């Protein structure tokens, strides 16, 4: 069964770029016509879809975040990544990666603070 694991720095300074990686195991990221998503959840609040990427490299982003988000994929490493630029305290959240919203990682907390 496919498993996903998020990784990245837990602390980012305001105005800098948050970079997270999702490592996929138990299957090849490039096999099957799947899309791979990033979702986030501020403490005590609801879920917010950030964006997704297909194995082809095609992307879709949340319109409210589009100007700051880049999602990329590295099939050779079985990983996909999230870059969120110009972060503020409002970007502090648990960040999840998922395969088609079916299989989810455990989440990683990213805190924006100086």
Partner 1 sequence: QTVVTQEPSLTVSPGGTVTLTCASSTGAVTNGYYPNWFQQKPGQAPRALIYSTNNKHSWTPARFSGSLLGGIAALTLSGVQPEDEADYYCLLYYGGAWMFGEGTKLTVL
The residues that touch partner 1, with contacts defined as CB under 8 A, are 37, 39, 46-49, 52, 60-63, 96, 101-107
Cβ-based nearer residue to partner 1, 62 or 85? 62
CA pseudo-torsion sign 29, 32, 33, 35:
negative
Q: How far is the CB of 86 from partner 1 (least distance, A)?
A: 21
Nearest approach in angstroms of CB 81 to partner 1 is 19
Which C-beta is closer to partner 1: that of 16 or that of 48?
48
Picking from 42, 58, 53, 30, the residue whose alpha carbon sits closest to that of residue 93 is 42
d(CA 39, CA 29): 18
């Amino acid at each position: 069964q496919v498993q996903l694991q998020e990784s990245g720095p837990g602390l980012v300074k305001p105005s800098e770029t948050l970079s997270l990686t999702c490592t996929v195991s138990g299957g090849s990221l490039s096999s099957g016509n799947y899309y791979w998503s990033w979702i986030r959840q501020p403490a005590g609040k609801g879920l917010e879809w950030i964006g997704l990427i297909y194995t082809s490299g095609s992307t879709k982003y949340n319109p409210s975040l589009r100007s700051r988000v880049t999602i990329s994929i590295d099939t050779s490493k079985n990983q996909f990544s999230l870059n969120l630029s110009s972060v503020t305290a409002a970007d502090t959240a648990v960040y999840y990666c998922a395969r088609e919203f079916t299989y989810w990682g455990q989440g990683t907390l990213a805190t924006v603070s100086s």
